């Protein structure tokens, strides 16, 4: 645990005591929720009512459980939502919806939590409030007793208070209780959160199901993106290089025909043919750069990002430390994500300078792009950043954006991956 | 003039050999992979080497690395590097610590035979041949260049590609005297020390652009 200052420590304790109150209040709701749900289930034979009432009661129970999950997150206990995803096909209504709810084990686990969760919530809440309150009593007892003559029977170790010195000792005891209370309250919150975790967290099965749902989504995104990419490449080749090669063949064929009759024309045609082959090469080069930049193949992420930074119309400082290279698909995703982020900086940020930093620690490739522009970037506004997010999601990567109005904007991208040791170190020579 | 060629595609290797021999170059060795290049360069000490960036076995930048290594061992060994794509990053590496005799061109340029042969000769003579593509990429990103007139930018681009005053004058259809005036202006505006030597001039320009 990190050492913390007395102020944060007190604030943390007070927050926990306050949330103890909230915990009690919320726990009190659990019982009526449980009753409501059971009644709704019991009303199932009265088809009309049950069909509507049960989903409604369930959504209330889930809202309560979600609240518990959110509160647990405040004490470093992460509880993911375990609910089964919507069944395939049209929006489930009526009986199908009913079945979806009742066959989801998470529904039953929520219900199983309601009562014990309430008991633990109330008990721990009460304890975390009572200790500091008792401390407060001890601290205030002495002045009240001395100046107002209020009669106290006993406090702490002394029942009854038999002497003046025992009365005075209530003060240090009170301080001790107060401190204990403030230390204990966050721990008690944590215990409550951990208990919630045992029932509200996804089971192994549910975790797998969530993972499958996530993979299905990213896979379909990937397939779509790849299909679109292939279509673009096909179109570019068809309209570009391929058409130029056809025209090249025709020009050369014509030149062949004219060789004896009109050498001057042949010279013109050949010059034209050379021009056409040049344009075809330019188009192919641009296309290749978009598919997999050659410098990425040659130099890896490090060299490719440096080359990119050199080609952009603003000074960009590059700080990359990579002991090896990731797998090619991951490397490519990392490169295009970085390139997209940098392009956004150039296009939209109004920045004078930008910085890229790439590191690999603990099997995580981290790319940070920072600029001194006007900030206020909205990831949902353009397709650029959501494209980056999709690209990274394929490899379980993430992107986060911090862009307060006025800047600076920081894009942080993370990709879990291993690095292979470099095949040849630069400048190692081959002789 | 003795030449070593390094190119992995047989079609292009033979084409280059044929082309250079047609212009009275003697191709002493044509290698098809990276590991063979450095020994060939050190053995023949050619007047100029024409090297593809990407070579087997790793198909990364072996040709470039071998060229740089060879120039470390034999300073000033003239090398003309060819590639399907050009990167200012590679241009900078080639020029770092060089005493001239460096070229870096797109393979497309070979199609213009006269210009290509001219570039090979220039590099062999210790001059420089930079691809217009590299130069234009560099010119595109430098704000101080805004101070230059359109004509001065043209002259700067030609200069960075490695052309002499005479050649620039011929290409832009103006007198050599006007060219030197433009160049003096460019050097003043960019606060670069003026220099007479063609090659050092290129290096100064590129070093400035790359800074």
My answer on whether omega of the bond before B57 falls inside 30° of 0, hence cis, is yes
Q: Return the exposure string of A169-208: e unless at least 16 CB atoms fall within 10 Å of the residue's CB, then b.
A: bbbebbeebbbebbebbbebbbbbbebbeebbbbeeebee
pLDDT (0 to 100) of residue B209: 65
Instruction: Dump pLDDT digits (tens) for A180-189.
Output: 998 899 999 9
**Straight-line distance from the first to the last Cα atom of chain B, in angstroms, rounded to the nearest whole number:** 35
CB A299 to CB B60 under 8 A? yes
The DSSP letter of residue B112 is S
C-alpha dihedral (A310, A316, A319, A323), degrees to nearest 10: -30
Instruction: Dump pLDDT digits (tens) for B112-135.
Output: 888 999 999 999 998 889 898 888
Instruction: Dump pLDDT digits (tens) for B105-117.
Output: 999 888 888 899 9
CA distance B172 to B159: 12
Q: Chain A residues within 8 A (CB-CB) of chain B?
A: 274, 277-278, 281-282, 285, 288-289, 294-295, 297-299, 303, 306-307, 310-314, 423-424, 426-431
| Residues in A touching B131 (Cβ below 8 Å) | none
pLDDT (0 to 100) of residue A304: 93
Q: Is the ipTM of this complex over 0.85?
A: no
Show me where the domains of chain B are located: 2-131, 142-210
Q: Across-strand partners of B82?
A: B52, B105
Q: Per the structure block, which two tokens stand in for A168?
A: 């005075």
Identify the CA nearest to A190 among candidates A138, A141, A124: A124
Q: Across-strand partners of A359?
A: A321, A366
Q: Residues A305, A307, A312, A318: is their CA dihedral positive or negative?
A: positive
Q: Which residue has the higher pLDDT, B200 or A285?
A: A285
Instruction: Dump pLDDT digits (tens) for A204-234.
Output: 888 888 888 888 888 888 888 888 888 888 8
Give the distance from residue A317's alpha carbon to the nearest chain B alpha carbon, in angstroms. Answer: 12
Show me where the domains of chain A are located: 6-200, 204-291, 300-416
Of A105-109, B47-51, B181-185, the one with minimum mean pLDDT is B181-185
CATH class of A300-416: alpha beta
Angle at B39 between CA B36 and CA B41, to 5 degrees: 100
CB B58 to CB A313 under 8 A? no
pLDDT (0 to 100) of residue A431: 32
Alpha-carbon Rg of chain A, whole angstroms? Answer: 34
Instruction: Dump pLDDT digits (tens) for A95-143.
Output: 788 888 888 888 999 999 999 999 999 999 999 999 999 888 888 887 7
Task: Write out the H or E segment, with its range, that includes residue A318.
Answer: strand A316-321
CA distance A320 to A113: 49
CA distance A385 to B178: 50
pLDDT (0 to 100) of residue A147: 76
Topology (CATH level 3) of domain B2-131? Rossmann fold (3.40.50)
Q: Which residue has the higher pLDDT, A293 or A155?
A: A293
Angle in degrees, 0-180, between the axes of helices B62-73 and B34-44, rounded to the nearest 10:
30
The DSSP letter of residue A156 is T
Mean pLDDT of the A311-326 span:
89
Identify the CA nearest to A102 among candidates A72, A61, A138: A61
Q: Per the structure block, which two tokens stand in for B153?
A: 């930018």
The DSSP letter of residue B125 is T
8 Å CB contact between B105 and B77: no
- pLDDT class for B201, splitting at 50, 70, 90? confident
CATH class of B142-210: mainly alpha
**CA contacts within 13 A on the Cβ side of B165:** 14
8 Å CB contact between B91 and B98: no
CB B89 to CB A306 under 8 A? yes
8 Å CB contact between A430 and B62: yes
| Residues in A touching B69 (Cβ below 8 Å) | 427, 429-431
Mean pLDDT of the A12-28 span:
89
pLDDT exceeding 70 applies to what percent of chain A? Answer: 93
| Residues in B touching A274 (Cβ below 8 Å) | 111-112
CA distance A338 to B63: 28
| Residues in B touching A301 (Cβ below 8 Å) | none
**Residue B68 CB-density burial (10 A; 0-12 exposed, 13-18 middle, 19+ buried):** buried
Determine how β-strand A354-361 pairs with β-strand A316-321: parallel
pLDDT (0 to 100) of residue B144: 65
**Residue A148 CB-density burial (10 A; 0-12 exposed, 13-18 middle, 19+ buried):** exposed
């Amino acid at each position: 645990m990190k050492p913390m200052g007395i102020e944060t420590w007190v604030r943390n304790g007070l927050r926990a005591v306050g949330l103890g109150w909230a915990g009690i209040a919320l726990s009190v709701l659990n019982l009526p929720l449980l009753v409501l749900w059971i009644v709704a289930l019991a009303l199932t034979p009265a088809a009309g009512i049950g069909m509507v009432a049960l989903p409604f009661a369930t959504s209330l129970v889930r809202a309560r459980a979600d609240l518990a999950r959110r509160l647990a997150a405040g004490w470093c206990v992460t509880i993911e939502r375990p609910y089964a995803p919507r069944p395939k096909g049209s929006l489930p209504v009526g009986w199908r919806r009913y079945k979806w709810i009742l066959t989801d084990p998470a529904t039953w686990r929520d219900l199983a939590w309601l009562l014990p969760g309430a008991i633990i919530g109330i008990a721990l809440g009460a304890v975390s409030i009572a200790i500091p309150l008792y401390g407060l009593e001890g601290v205030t007892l002495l002045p009240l007793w001395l100046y107002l003559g209020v009669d106290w029977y006993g406090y702490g170790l002394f029942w009854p208070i038999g002497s003046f010195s025992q009365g005075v000792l209530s003060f240090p005891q009170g301080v001790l209780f107060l401190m204990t209370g403030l230390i204990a309250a966050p721990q008690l919150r944590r215990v409550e959160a951990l208990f919630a975790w045992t029932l509200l967290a996804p089971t192994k099965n549910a975790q797998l199901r969530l993972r499958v749902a996530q993979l299905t989504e990213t896979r379909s995104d990937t397939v779509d993106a790849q299909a679109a990419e292939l279509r673009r490449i096909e179109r570019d080749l068809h309209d570009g290089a391929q058409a130029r090669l056809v025209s090249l063949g025709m020009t050369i064929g014509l030149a062949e025909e004219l060789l004896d009759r009109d050498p001057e024309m042949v010279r013109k045609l050949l010059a034209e043919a050379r021009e056409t082959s040049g344009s075809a090469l330019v188009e192919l080069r641009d296309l290749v750069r978009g598919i997999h930049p050659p410098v990425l193949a040659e130099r890896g992420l490090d060299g490719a990002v440096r080359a990119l930074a050199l080609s952009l119309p603003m000074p960009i400082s590059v700080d990359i430390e990579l002991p090896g290279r990731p797998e090619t698909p991951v490397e490519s995703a990392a490169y295009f994500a970085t390139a997209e982020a940098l392009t956004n900086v150039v296009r939209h940020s109004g920045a004078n300078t930008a910085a890229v930093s790439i590191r690999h620690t603990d099997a995580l490739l981290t790319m940070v792009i920072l600029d001194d522009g006007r900030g206020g970037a909205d990831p949902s506004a353009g397709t650029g950043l959501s494209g980056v997010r999709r690209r990274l999601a394929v490899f379980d990567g993430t992107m986060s954006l911090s862009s307060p109005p006025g800047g600076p904007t920081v894009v942080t991208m993370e990709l879990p991956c291993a690095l292979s040791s470099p095949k040849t170190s630069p400048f190692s020579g081959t002789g | 003039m003795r030449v070593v060629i390094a190119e992995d595609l047989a079609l292009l290797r033979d084409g280059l050999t044929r082309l250079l021999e047609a212009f009275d170059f003697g191709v002493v060795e044509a290698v098809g992979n990276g590991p063979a290049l450095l020994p060939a360069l050190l053995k023949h000490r050619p007047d100029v080497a024409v090297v593809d960036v990407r070579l087997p076995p790793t198909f990364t930048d072996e040709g470039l690395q071998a060229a740089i290594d060879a120039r470390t061992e034999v300073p000033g060994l003239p090398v003309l590097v060819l590639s399907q794509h050009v990167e200012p990053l590679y241009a900078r590496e080639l020029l770092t610590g060089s005493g001239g005799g460096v070229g870096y061109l797109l393979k497309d340029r070979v199609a213009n035979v006269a210009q290509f042969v001219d570039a090979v000769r220039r590099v062999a003579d210790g001059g420089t041949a930079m691809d217009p593509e590299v130069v234009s990429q560099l010119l595109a990103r430098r704000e101080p260049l805004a101070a230059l007139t359109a004509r001065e930018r043209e002259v700067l681009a030609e200069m960075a590609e490695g052309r002499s005053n005479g050649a620039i004058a011929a290409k832009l259809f103006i007198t050599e005297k006007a060219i030197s005036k433009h160049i003096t202006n460019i050097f003043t505006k960019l606060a670069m020390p003026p220099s007479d030597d063609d090659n050092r001039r290129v290096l100064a320009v590129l070093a400035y652009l790359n800074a």
